[in-house]
Amino acid sequence: MTHVPRCIFTALTLAVAITFSSQSTFGQAAGAAKKMEFDSPLLKPWTGPYGGVPPWNLVRSDEFIAAFDAAIESSTSDIKAIADNSDKPDFENTIVAMERAGRTLSRLEAMFFVYASNLNVGPIPDIEKVVVPKLSEHADSIYQNKQLFSRISAVFDSPAMKDGTFDLAQRRLVDDTYKTFLRKGAKLNSSEKAKLSQMNTRLARLFTDFSQNVLADEKGYVTWIKDKSELGGLPDSVIAAMSSAASDRNSKGGDWAITNTRSSMDPFLTYSSNRPLREKVWRNYYSRGDNGDKYDNNKIIAEILKIRAARAKLLGYETHAHWRMEPTMAKKPQAAMELMMKVWPKALARVREEVADMQAIADQEGAKIKIEPWDYRYYAEKVRKEKYDLDFNEVKPYLQLEKLSEAMMWAATQLYGLHFKQLSGIPVFHPDVTVWEVTDADGKHVGLWYLDPYAREGKRSGAWMTDYRAQENMGKPITTIVSNNSNFVKGKPGEPVLISWDDAVTMFHEFGHALHGLCSDCNYPTQSGTSVARDYVEFPSQINEHWLSTPEVLANFAVHYQTGEPIPKELLDKIEKASTFNQGFQTVEYLASALIDMKLHLAGDVAIDPDQFERETLAELGMPKEIVMRHRTPQFNHIFASDGYSAGYYSYLWSDALTADAAEVFEDSGTYYDKEVAKSLYDNIFSVGDTIDPAEGFRRFRGRDVDTKALLRKRGFPIDEK
Q: Could you give the 3-state DSSP secondary structure of residue 391?
A: coil
C-alpha to C-alpha distance for 698 and 205, rounded to whole angstroms? 38
Q: Is residue 352 domain-resident?
A: yes
Helix (H) or strand (E) holding 541: helix 538-544
Q: Could you give the 3-state DSSP secondary structure of residue 121?
A: coil
Q: How confident is the model at residue 17 (pLDDT cuts 50, 70, 90)?
A: very low
**Distance from chain centroid for Cα 707:** 25
262, 286, 310 - which closes a domain: 286
C-alpha to C-alpha distance for 556 and 127, rounded to whole angstroms? 46
* Residue closest to 308 by CA, chosen among 604, 595, 597, 15: 604
Instruction: Express each pLDDT in 212-270 by its tens digit.
Output: 999 999 999 999 999 999 999 999 989 999 999 999 888 888 999 999 999 899 999 99
Please give the average per-residue pLDDT across 642-669, as a whole number: 97
* Residue closest to 540 by CA, chosen among 406, 398, 694, 429: 694
Question: Are 93 and 38 in a shared domain?
Answer: yes
Name the residue type at position 247. Answer: S
C-alpha to C-alpha distance for 188 and 196, rounded to whole angstroms? 9
Please state, for a pLDDT cut of 70, what percent of the chain lies above it: 95
C-alpha to C-alpha distance for 74 and 43, rounded to whole angstroms? 10
What DSSP line would sit under 607-642, residue for residue?
A: ---HHHHHHHHHHHHT--TT---SS-GGG-HHHHSS
C-alpha to C-alpha distance for 719 and 708, rounded to whole angstroms? 10
What local confidence, expressed as pLDDT, does residue 379 receive? 98
- Residue 434 pairs in a beta bridge with 451
Least confident of 18-32, 248-262, 554-568, 680-694: 18-32
Question: Are 173 and 153 in a shared domain?
Answer: yes
131, 161, 187 - which closes a domain: 187
SS3 of 546-568: the string is HHCCCHHHHHHHCECCCCCCECC
Q: How confident is the model at residue 492 (pLDDT cuts 50, 70, 90)?
A: confident
Q: Is residue 680 domain-resident?
A: no
C-alpha to C-alpha distance for 658 and 539, rounded to whole angstroms? 7
Torsions phi, psi for 498 (to 5 deg): -95, 135
Residue 108 structural domain: 13-143+145-187
Question: Are 42 and 96 in a shared domain?
Answer: yes
Q: Give burial (CB, 10 Å; 0-12/13-18/19+) of 169.
A: middle
pLDDT exceeds 70 at position 210: yes
Q: Check which CATH number belongs to the domain holding 626 and give it.
A: 1.10.1370.10
C-alpha to C-alpha distance for 457 and 218, rounded to whole angstroms? 9
State how far the alpha carbon of 497 is from the alpha carbons of 237, 243, 307, 330, 571, in Å.
Answer: 8, 13, 45, 40, 21
Question: Are 263 and 386 in a shared domain?
Answer: no
CA-based angle 54:55:56, to the nearest 5?
95
What DSSP line would sit under 17-36, residue for residue?
A: TTSSS---SS-PPTT--SPP
Question: Are 269 and 334 in a shared domain?
Answer: no
CB 494: neighbour CB atoms within 10 A? 5
C-alpha to C-alpha distance for 596 and 623, rounded to whole angstroms? 11
628, 649, 670 - which closes a domain: 649
Name the residue type at position 700. Answer: R
Give the pairing of strands 480-488 and 419-423. unpaired
Question: Are 330 and 351 in a shared domain?
Answer: yes
Span between the terminal Cα atoms of the chain, in Å: 27
Question: Are 308 and 379 in a shared domain?
Answer: yes
Q: Is residue 320 domain-resident?
A: yes
Domain count along the chain: 3
What local confidence, expressed as pLDDT, does residue 127 receive? 97
* Residue closest to 361 by CA, chosen among 352, 371, 373: 371
pLDDT exceeds 70 at position 558: yes
pLDDT exceeds 80 at position 392: yes
pLDDT exceeds 50 at position 35: no
Please give the average per-residue pLDDT across 682-707, as a whole number: 98
* Contact of 584 with 376, CB cutoff 8 Å: no
C-alpha to C-alpha distance for 58 and 143, rounded to whole angstroms? 33
C-alpha to C-alpha distance for 242 and 257, rounded to whole angstroms? 5
C-alpha to C-alpha distance for 646 and 670, rounded to whole angstroms? 39
C-alpha to C-alpha distance for 163 and 346, rounded to whole angstroms? 49
What local confidence, expressed as pLDDT, does residue 722 receive? 56
Please give the average per-residue pLDDT across 630-657, as a whole number: 97
Instruction: Express each pLDDT in 64-118 by its tens digit.
Output: 999 999 999 999 999 999 999 999 999 999 999 999 999 999 999 999 999 999 9
DSSP 449: E
What local confidence, expressed as pLDDT, does residue 493 receive? 82
Question: Are 311 and 229 in a shared domain?
Answer: no
Q: How confident is the model at residue 37 (pLDDT cuts 50, 70, 90)?
A: low
Q: Is residue 163 domain-resident?
A: yes
Please state, for a pLDDT cut of 90, what percent of the chain lies above it: 90
C-alpha to C-alpha distance for 133 and 137, rounded to whole angstroms? 6
C-alpha to C-alpha distance for 597 and 602, rounded to whole angstroms? 9
Q: Name, in order, each residue with C-beta under 8 angstroms of 477's C-beta and a sequence gap of 6 or more.
A: none
What local confidence, expressed as pLDDT, does residue 27 receive? 35
Please give the average per-residue pLDDT across 468-489, as a whole number: 96
Active site residue 394: no
Q: Check which CATH number belongs to the domain holding 49 and give it.
A: 1.10.1370.40
Least confident of 37-41, 288-292, 695-699: 37-41
pLDDT exceeds 60 at position 570: yes
Q: Is residue 593 domain-resident?
A: yes
C-alpha to C-alpha distance for 45 and 285, rounded to whole angstroms? 42
Which of the residues 63, 109, 128, 510 is marked catalytic? 510
C-alpha to C-alpha distance for 217 and 16, rounded to whole angstroms? 25
Q: Is residue 711 domain-resident?
A: no
* Residue closest to 390 by CA, chosen among 574, 256, 215: 574
Question: Are 160 and 71 in a shared domain?
Answer: yes
* Contact of 260 with 285, CB cutoff 8 Å: yes
Question: Are 23 and 155 in a shared domain?
Answer: yes
Question: Are 272 and 334 in a shared domain?
Answer: no
CA-based angle 704:710:713, to the nearest 5?
165
What local confidence, expressed as pLDDT, does residue 252 receive? 81
Q: Name, in order, each residue with C-beta under 8 angstroms of 223's C-beta and a sequence gap of 6 or more.
A: 257, 258, 260, 277, 280, 281, 284
* Residue closest to 489 by CA, chosen among 177, 333, 258, 717: 258
* Residue closest to 420 by CA, chosen among 387, 461, 450, 400: 450
Question: Are 182 and 233 in a shared domain?
Answer: no
User: Helices H, strands E: what count in the chain?
Assistant: 28, 9
C-alpha to C-alpha distance for 694 and 657, rounded to whole angstroms? 14
C-alpha to C-alpha distance for 22 and 514, rounded to whole angstroms? 16
Q: Is residue 383 domain-resident?
A: yes
Q: Is residue 472 domain-resident?
A: no
Helices (H), 230-327: 236-248, 262-271, 275-286, 298-314, 320-325
